[in-house]
Amino acid sequence: MTVRAWDEETALAHIRELESLPGALLPILNALQDEFGYIDDAAVPLIADALNLSRAEVVGVVYFYHDYRHAPPGRHVLRVCRAEACQAMGGESLAEYLQTRLGVPMGQTTIDGSITLENVYCLGNCALSPAVMLDGDLYGQVSKAAADQLVREARRNVS
Protein backbone atom coordinates (compact mmCIF):
# COMPACT_ATOMS: atom_id res chain seq x y z
CA MET A 1 0.00 0.00 0.00
CA THR A 2 1.53 3.29 -1.04
CA VAL A 3 0.28 6.34 0.77
CA ARG A 4 1.94 9.72 0.90
CA ALA A 5 2.38 12.08 3.83
CA TRP A 6 -0.33 14.70 4.20
CA ASP A 7 0.10 17.73 2.01
CA GLU A 8 -2.42 20.40 1.44
CA GLU A 9 -1.74 20.91 -2.23
CA THR A 10 -2.42 17.30 -3.15
CA ALA A 11 -5.53 17.34 -0.98
CA LEU A 12 -6.78 20.47 -2.71
CA ALA A 13 -6.16 18.92 -6.11
CA HIS A 14 -8.46 16.00 -5.18
CA ILE A 15 -11.05 18.33 -3.75
CA ARG A 16 -11.09 20.52 -6.88
CA GLU A 17 -11.37 17.50 -9.12
CA LEU A 18 -14.39 16.12 -7.28
CA GLU A 19 -16.20 19.09 -5.73
CA SER A 20 -18.65 19.56 -8.58
CA LEU A 21 -20.01 16.00 -8.34
CA PRO A 22 -23.45 15.69 -6.80
CA GLY A 23 -22.96 14.36 -3.27
CA ALA A 24 -19.22 15.02 -3.48
CA LEU A 25 -18.34 14.51 0.18
CA LEU A 26 -17.85 10.75 0.19
CA PRO A 27 -15.96 10.68 -3.12
CA ILE A 28 -13.62 13.38 -1.73
CA LEU A 29 -13.09 11.60 1.58
CA ASN A 30 -12.50 8.30 -0.22
CA ALA A 31 -9.93 9.97 -2.50
CA LEU A 32 -8.13 11.54 0.45
CA GLN A 33 -8.07 8.30 2.38
CA ASP A 34 -6.71 6.47 -0.70
CA GLU A 35 -4.00 9.09 -1.06
CA PHE A 36 -2.94 9.57 2.56
CA GLY A 37 -4.33 6.49 4.30
CA TYR A 38 -6.40 8.63 6.69
CA ILE A 39 -8.35 11.87 6.88
CA ASP A 40 -6.13 14.56 8.31
CA ASP A 41 -7.86 17.12 10.53
CA ALA A 42 -6.45 19.80 8.25
CA ALA A 43 -8.60 18.45 5.42
CA VAL A 44 -11.80 19.35 7.23
CA PRO A 45 -11.79 23.14 6.67
CA LEU A 46 -10.65 22.68 3.07
CA ILE A 47 -13.57 20.36 2.32
CA ALA A 48 -16.06 22.46 4.28
CA ASP A 49 -15.00 25.48 2.26
CA ALA A 50 -15.22 23.74 -1.09
CA LEU A 51 -18.64 22.19 -0.46
CA ASN A 52 -20.14 25.09 1.47
CA LEU A 53 -20.68 22.92 4.54
CA SER A 54 -19.93 23.62 8.17
CA ARG A 55 -16.85 21.96 9.63
CA ALA A 56 -19.12 20.14 12.04
CA GLU A 57 -21.01 18.57 9.15
CA VAL A 58 -17.78 17.32 7.59
CA VAL A 59 -16.45 15.98 10.89
CA GLY A 60 -19.79 14.30 11.51
CA VAL A 61 -19.50 12.40 8.26
CA VAL A 62 -15.82 11.51 8.81
CA TYR A 63 -16.68 9.99 12.17
CA PHE A 64 -19.87 8.27 11.05
CA TYR A 65 -18.22 5.89 8.59
CA HIS A 66 -16.02 3.12 9.97
CA ASP A 67 -13.59 3.21 7.04
CA TYR A 68 -12.14 6.62 7.76
CA ARG A 69 -9.01 6.64 9.85
CA HIS A 70 -8.03 9.61 11.93
CA ALA A 71 -4.30 8.93 12.02
CA PRO A 72 -1.89 7.55 9.42
CA PRO A 73 -1.94 3.73 9.19
CA GLY A 74 1.07 1.46 9.08
CA ARG A 75 2.75 0.62 5.78
CA HIS A 76 0.25 -2.20 5.33
CA VAL A 77 -3.32 -2.63 6.45
CA LEU A 78 -4.53 -6.10 7.41
CA ARG A 79 -8.29 -6.33 7.73
CA VAL A 80 -9.67 -9.39 9.45
CA CYS A 81 -13.28 -10.43 8.92
CA ARG A 82 -15.20 -10.80 12.17
CA ALA A 83 -18.63 -11.62 10.75
CA GLU A 84 -20.69 -14.79 11.14
CA ALA A 85 -19.49 -16.90 8.20
CA CYS A 86 -15.89 -16.42 9.28
CA GLN A 87 -16.86 -17.04 12.92
CA ALA A 88 -18.19 -20.42 11.79
CA MET A 89 -14.71 -21.32 10.50
CA GLY A 90 -12.46 -20.15 13.30
CA GLY A 91 -12.29 -16.49 12.37
CA GLU A 92 -12.37 -15.42 15.99
CA SER A 93 -9.40 -17.54 16.92
CA LEU A 94 -7.54 -16.18 13.86
CA ALA A 95 -8.29 -12.63 15.02
CA GLU A 96 -7.06 -13.45 18.55
CA TYR A 97 -3.95 -15.04 17.11
CA LEU A 98 -3.10 -12.05 14.94
CA GLN A 99 -3.51 -9.63 17.82
CA THR A 100 -1.14 -11.70 19.93
CA ARG A 101 1.29 -12.28 17.08
CA LEU A 102 1.46 -8.58 16.20
CA GLY A 103 1.21 -7.38 19.78
CA VAL A 104 -1.56 -4.87 19.09
CA PRO A 105 -5.32 -4.88 19.48
CA MET A 106 -7.61 -4.35 16.52
CA GLY A 107 -7.54 -0.82 15.22
CA GLN A 108 -3.89 -0.23 16.06
CA THR A 109 -0.53 -0.28 14.31
CA THR A 110 2.48 -2.41 15.23
CA ILE A 111 5.34 -0.65 16.95
CA ASP A 112 7.57 -0.97 13.89
CA GLY A 113 4.90 0.80 11.85
CA SER A 114 4.59 -2.10 9.43
CA ILE A 115 1.01 -3.29 9.91
CA THR A 116 -2.29 -1.82 10.99
CA LEU A 117 -4.75 -4.45 12.15
CA GLU A 118 -8.43 -3.74 11.56
CA ASN A 119 -11.79 -5.44 11.97
CA VAL A 120 -14.02 -5.72 8.95
CA TYR A 121 -17.55 -7.01 8.84
CA CYS A 122 -17.67 -9.18 5.76
CA LEU A 123 -15.38 -9.23 2.76
CA GLY A 124 -17.83 -11.19 0.61
CA ASN A 125 -15.64 -14.30 0.65
CA CYS A 126 -17.94 -16.28 2.90
CA ALA A 127 -17.61 -19.64 1.15
CA LEU A 128 -13.86 -19.55 1.69
CA SER A 129 -13.79 -18.44 5.32
CA PRO A 130 -11.98 -17.21 7.24
CA ALA A 131 -11.03 -14.26 5.07
CA VAL A 132 -8.65 -11.34 5.41
CA MET A 133 -7.71 -8.46 3.17
CA LEU A 134 -4.16 -7.15 2.97
CA ASP A 135 -3.89 -3.77 1.24
CA GLY A 136 -6.88 -4.46 -0.99
CA ASP A 137 -5.90 -8.05 -1.84
CA LEU A 138 -8.35 -10.69 -0.67
CA TYR A 139 -7.29 -13.99 0.93
CA GLY A 140 -9.50 -16.96 1.72
CA GLN A 141 -9.31 -20.07 3.92
CA VAL A 142 -6.65 -18.31 5.92
CA SER A 143 -4.97 -20.62 8.42
CA LYS A 144 -2.75 -19.26 11.17
CA ALA A 145 0.26 -20.42 9.17
CA ALA A 146 -1.01 -18.60 6.08
CA ALA A 147 -1.60 -15.47 8.15
CA ASP A 148 1.98 -15.72 9.44
CA GLN A 149 3.23 -15.95 5.89
CA LEU A 150 1.22 -12.86 4.88
CA VAL A 151 2.56 -10.91 7.83
CA ARG A 152 6.16 -11.95 7.06
CA GLU A 153 5.84 -10.98 3.41
CA ALA A 154 4.21 -7.67 4.25
CA ARG A 155 6.98 -6.80 6.68
CA ARG A 156 9.66 -7.67 4.13
CA ASN A 157 7.97 -5.52 1.55
CA VAL A 158 8.54 -1.98 2.77
CA SER A 159 6.31 -0.17 0.30
Partner 1 sequence: MTRVFVPIDAAALSVGAGRVADAIEREAKSRGAEVTLVRNGTRGMLWLEPLVEVETPSGRVAYGAVTPKDVPSLFEAGFLDGKAHALSLGPTESIPYFAQQERLTFARCGVTDPLSLDDYTNNDGFAGLKRALTMEPAAIVEEVFSSGLRGRGGAGFPTGIKWRTVLNEQAEQKYIVCNADEGDSGTYADRMLIEGDPFVLIEGMTIAGLAVGANQGYVYLRSEYPHAYRTLRRAIEMAREAGYLSENVLGSGKTFDMDVRLGAGAYICGEETSLLESLEGKKGVIRSKPPLPAISGLYAKPTVVNNVLSLATVPIILSRGARFYADYGVGRSRGTMPFQLAGNIKQGGLFEKAFGITLRQAIYDFGGGTATGRPLRAVQVGGPLGAYFPESLLDTPLDYEAFAAQKGLLGHGGIVVFDDTVDLAKQARFAMEFCAHESCGKCTPCRIGSTRGVEVIDKIINDQDRRDNLELLDDLCELMEGASLCLLGGLTPYPVQSAIRFFPEDFDKPAPLQSTAHNH
Residue 127 or 158: the one with the smaller Cβ distance to partner 1 is 127
- Per CB under 8 A, contacts with partner 1 among 126-155 are 126-129, 131, 133, 136-141
97 binds partner 1 (CB under 8 A): no
Q: State the minimum distance, in angstroms, from the CB of residue 117 to partner 1.
A: 10
CA–CA dist 146, 16 (Å, integer):
42
121 binds partner 1 (CB under 8 A): yes
CA–CA dist 13, 46 (Å, integer):
11
* Enclosing H/E stretch for 15: helix 8-18
Long-range contacts of the stretch 58-65 (C-beta < 8 A, 24+): 58/25, 61/25, 61/26, 61/29, 62/29, 65/26, 65/29
100 binds partner 1 (CB under 8 A): no
Q: State the minimum distance, in angstroms, from the CB of residue 99 to partner 1.
A: 7
Radius of gyration of the chain (CA): 17
Residues 6+ apart with CB under 8 A from 47: 15, 25, 28, 29, 53, 58
Instruction: Map residues 13-52 to x or -, x wherever contact with partner 1 holds by CB under 8 A.
Output: ---------xxxxxx-xx--------------------x-
Residue 9 or 100: the one with the smaller Cβ distance to partner 1 is 100
- Per CB under 8 A, contacts with partner 1 among 69-88 are 83-88
Q: State the minimum distance, in angstroms, from the CB of residue 87 to partner 1.
A: 7
107 binds partner 1 (CB under 8 A): yes
Angle, vertex CA 52, rays to CA 46 and CA 54, nearest 5? 75
In contact, 95 and 80? CB cutoff 8 Å: yes
Positions that interact with partner 1 (CB under 8 A): 22-27, 29-30, 51, 57, 60-61, 64-68, 83-89, 95, 99, 105-107, 119-129, 131, 133, 136-141
